[in-house]
């Protein structure tokens, strides 16, 4: 009899464990569905904090986990430590997912952060000296994007046909003998004094109290294809709490908030 009871107890415990692991939603103490979203601080976490009260009314407890780099948020999403992330543009997400064989996809486009060229030493690109050092992000897609921006500013020329995957090795014409210095994107604002110019993503520029509209010497066109998106795991597209998040982040209220808060440094993509 004792053996039978022991077996029954073991089966019951196993069943409870399986039931607990099978669900995709976590309930908070207030009965709300917990939704963990990783984000870089500006403007992503700010936008998430803006919609947090609305989501709470809809039964979603939005928990924002801040990251300071471009790698960990995707690793955490793939490892199911978070439910979504909000920090990257589409080409970066697609390249990251392809290289690491991760089933990460776009939930919705939210905004565009035009990339800009900054300097603490010069007031215009016309002052560019021979042999100038220009810092760009060291991750593949943003590095290529930065090189394309330098080409748009007529500072160099890239090999025909290269786009987002461009590298310094693709430079075919460099009349000023520019030296390209590759630095982690988040560290670019701090290293500005060590180079002549820096190509910086708007989110990191704003974190460093740089105004992309006023301080940038040359800015990416507003029709940029690099829309920042909410990323999720493939197969989670129809989770109700994620659908609520997508709807909240693309609402008229968020569009107005972006336009009034960032004044052109961040542009709605919807």
Q: What is the DSSP string of 131-144?
A: T-EEEEESSHHHHH
Q: Are 167 and 144 in contact (CB under 8 A)?
A: yes
Backbone angles phi, psi at 154, to 5 degrees: 65, 30
pLDDT band, very low/low/confident/very high, at 10 (cuts 50, 70, 90): very low
pLDDT band, very low/low/confident/very high, at 108 (cuts 50, 70, 90): very high
Please give the pLDDT value at position 30. Answer: 74
- pLDDT, tens digit, for every residue of 62-78? 999 999 999 999 999 99
Q: 10 Å Cβ neighbour count for 49?
A: 12
Q: Which residues, other chains included, contact 40 with Cβ-Cβ below 8 Å and sequence gap of 6+?
A: 66, 67, 68, 73, 87, 203
Q: 10 Å Cβ neighbour count for 258?
A: 24
Rounded to whole angstroms, how far apart are CA atoms 226 and 91? 7
Judged against a pLDDT cut of 60, whether residue 15 lies above it is answered with no
Q: Where are the beta strands (DSSP E) in the chain?
A: 26-27, 33-39, 60-66, 84-89, 104-112, 116-118, 133-137, 157-158, 171-173, 179-183, 197-200, 218-219, 227-233, 267-268
pLDDT band, very low/low/confident/very high, at 17 (cuts 50, 70, 90): very low
Sheet containing 133-137, strands listed edge to edge, beginning at the edge strand earlier in sequence? 179-183, 133-137, 197-200, 116-118, 218-219
Judged against a pLDDT cut of 50, whether residue 18 lies above it is answered with no
User: Which residue is it, tokens 């197969």?
Assistant: 235
- pLDDT, tens digit, for every residue of 156-185? 999 999 988 899 999 999 999 999 999 999
Q: Are 128 and 197 in contact (CB under 8 A)?
A: yes
User: Which residue is it, tokens 């990416």?
Assistant: 220
Whether the bond between 16 and the residue before it is cis, its omega within 30 degrees of 0, is: no
Q: Are 45 and 257 in contact (CB under 8 A)?
A: no
Alpha-carbon 253 to chain mean position: 21
Rounded to whole angstroms, how far apart are CA atoms 119 and 124? 8
Q: Which residues, other chains included, contact 188 with Cβ-Cβ below 8 Å and sequence gap of 6+?
A: 135, 137, 198, 199, 200, 201, 204
Judged against a pLDDT cut of 60, whether residue 20 lies above it is answered with no
Closest by CA to 147, choosing from 124, 125, 120, 170, is: 170
Taking CA atoms, 184 is separated from 44, 62, 71, 140, 187, in Å, by 19, 29, 11, 11, 5
What number of helices (H) and strands (E) belong to the chain? 8, 14
- pLDDT, tens digit, for every residue of 24-65? 456 665 789 999 999 999 999 999 999 999 999 999 999 999
pTM over 0.85: no
């Amino acid at each position: 009899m004792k053996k039978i009871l022991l077996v029954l107890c073991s089966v019951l415990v196993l069943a409870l464990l399986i039931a607990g692991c099978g669900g995709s939603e976590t309930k908070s103490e207030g009965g709300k569905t917990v939704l963990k979203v990783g984000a870089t601080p500006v403007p992503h976490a700010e936008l998430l904090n803006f919609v947090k009260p609305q989501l709470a009314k809809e039964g979603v407890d939005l928990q924002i986990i801040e990251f300071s780099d471009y790698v960990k948020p995707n690793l955490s999403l793939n490892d199911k430590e978070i439910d979504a992330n909000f920090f990257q543009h589409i080409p970066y997400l697609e390249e990251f997912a392809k290289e690491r064989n991760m089933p990460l996809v776009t939930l919705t486009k939210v905004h565009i952060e035009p990339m800009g060229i900054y300097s603490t030493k010069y007031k215009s690109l016309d002052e560019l000296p021979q042999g100038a050092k220009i810092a760009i992000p060291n991750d593949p897609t943003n590095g290529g994007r930065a090189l394309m921006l330098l080409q748009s500013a007529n500072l160099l020329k890239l090999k025909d046909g290269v786009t987002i995957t461009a590298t310094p090795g693709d430079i075919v014409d460099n009349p000023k003998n520019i030296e390209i210095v590759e630095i982690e994107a988040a560290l670019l604002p701090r290293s500005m004094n060590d180079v002549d110019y820096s190509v910086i993503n708007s989110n990191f520029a704003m974190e460093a109290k740089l105004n992309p509209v006023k301080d940038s010497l040359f800015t990416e066109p507003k029709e940029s294809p690099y829309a920042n998106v909410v990323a999720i795991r493939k197969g989670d597209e129809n989770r109700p709490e994620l659908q609520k998040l997508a709807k909240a982040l693309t609402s008229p209220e968020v569009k107005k908030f972006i336009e009034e808060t960032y004044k052109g440094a961040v542009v709605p993509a919807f």
